[in-house]
Amino acid sequence: AQSVTQLGSHVSVSEGALVLLRCNYSSSVPPYLFWYVQYPNQGLQLLLKYTSAATLVKGINGFEAEFKKSETSFHLTKPSAHMSDAAEYFCAVSVRGGSNYKLTFGKGTLLTVNP
Amino acid sequence: NADVMQNPRHLVRRRGQEARLRCSPMKGHSHVYWYRQLPEEGLKFMVYLQKENIIDESGMPKERFSAEFPKEGPSILRIQQVVRGDSAAYFCASSPRLGLAGDPSYNEQFFGPGTRLTVL
């Protein structure tokens, strides 16, 4: 079984500052990893995904994440926060094979951006 | 993603009543997934359906919960005799097709805005 731990349920940054949202996973087989963002009253939107190609993955809105197998991590970063980045962010994992549709999510990190 | 429609957005039920949650997938999508988010928890997979077929219901509670995706119309998640512990946000997602085994490139799941169920 796989699991995801997101460190910090709430992260607050200043506009223009670095955004770092942490995600560690546990999986007995090589994983697929995802970051989703949820704006208020909206559904989850895929930011980026790791599927075993490049370990540094670039996503939408200037976000990127790096897969580090030795650290079992998939942290999300953005060099400069914008007010519009304020949202809840979810890290998710799935496994290779026939059940790759079954996403397992972390509890989420609420990002606040201060002016 | 606004193109996956869920209704109602908010649902209040008293203990013992039935809750019916609807999900209309994106146009052209034939795969539907339901997830539940309990307070302070991440989303948990419940069930995966294709038209007229339940493919994987391993995350569904054994009693009181059922799901369907008929040939015509939305997917329905039905909860009978609701209890307070059923209070949660229920999210539906859809995808156009399932990728090849070992490759999720084509099965990106598009999520709806969720239904917030409150059981009094």
Mean pLDDT by runs of 10 across the 120 residues of chain B is 85 98 92 91 91 93 96 96 96 78 62 94
| Cβ pair B50, B111 in contact under 8 A | no
| Structure-token pair, residue A65 | 């994440």
**Does B45 contact A103 at a Cβ distance shorter than 8 Å?**
yes
Query: Least CB-CB distance to A51: which of B42, B105, B111?
Result: B105
| pLDDT of amino acid A77 | 97
Give the pLDDT confidence score for residue B28 in this predicted structure. Answer: 84
Name which of B44, B102, B114 is nearest A100 (Cβ-Cβ).
Answer: B102
Strands (DSSP E) found in chain B: 5-7, 10-13, 19-24, 31-37, 43-50, 53-56, 65-68, 75-79, 88-95, 110-111, 115-119
pLDDT at B60: 95
Contacts of B9 in chain A (CB under 8 A): 41
Contact state of A42 with B102 under an 8 Å Cβ cutoff:
no
- Continuous H helices in chain B: none
Residues 33-72 of A with CB under 8 A from B: 36, 41-46, 49, 51
Give the pLDDT confidence score for residue B98 in this predicted structure.
Answer: 59
Residues 6+ apart with CB under 8 A from B27: B3
* Pick from B21, B22, B26: nearest CA to B3: B26
Closest CA to B22 of B38, B39, B9, B35: B9
> Is A96 touching B (CB cutoff 8 A)?
yes
- In chain B, % of residues over pLDDT 70: 89
Closest partner residue to A32 (CB to CB) among B59, B104, B113 is B104
Q: Which residues of chain A have pLDDT under 70?
A: 97-98
**H/E element, A13:** strand A10-14
**Rounded-to-integer distance, Cα B69 and Cα B31, Å:** 9
Q: Cis (ω within 30 of 0) for the bond into A40?
A: no
pLDDT at res. B99: 56
Q: How far away is chain A from the Cα of B45, in angstroms, using its nearest Cα?
A: 6
Chain A contact set for B109 (CB, 8 A): 46, 101, 103
> Nearest-5° angle of CA A109, CA A115, CA B1?
45
The Cα–Cα gap between A67 and A35 comes to: 12
Residues A103, B101: C-beta atoms closer than 8 Å: no
Task: Give the phi and the psi of residue B105 in degrees, each rounded to 5.
Answer: -55, -30
Residues A30 and A25: their CA atoms lie apart, in Å, by 11
Would you say A81 and A14 are in contact if contact means Cβ atoms under 8 Å apart?
yes
- Distance separating alpha carbons of residues A15 and B96, to the nearest angstrom: 37
A–B CB contacts, 8 A cutoff, strictly below: 81
Nearest chain A residue (CA) to B112? A43
pLDDT at A80: 97
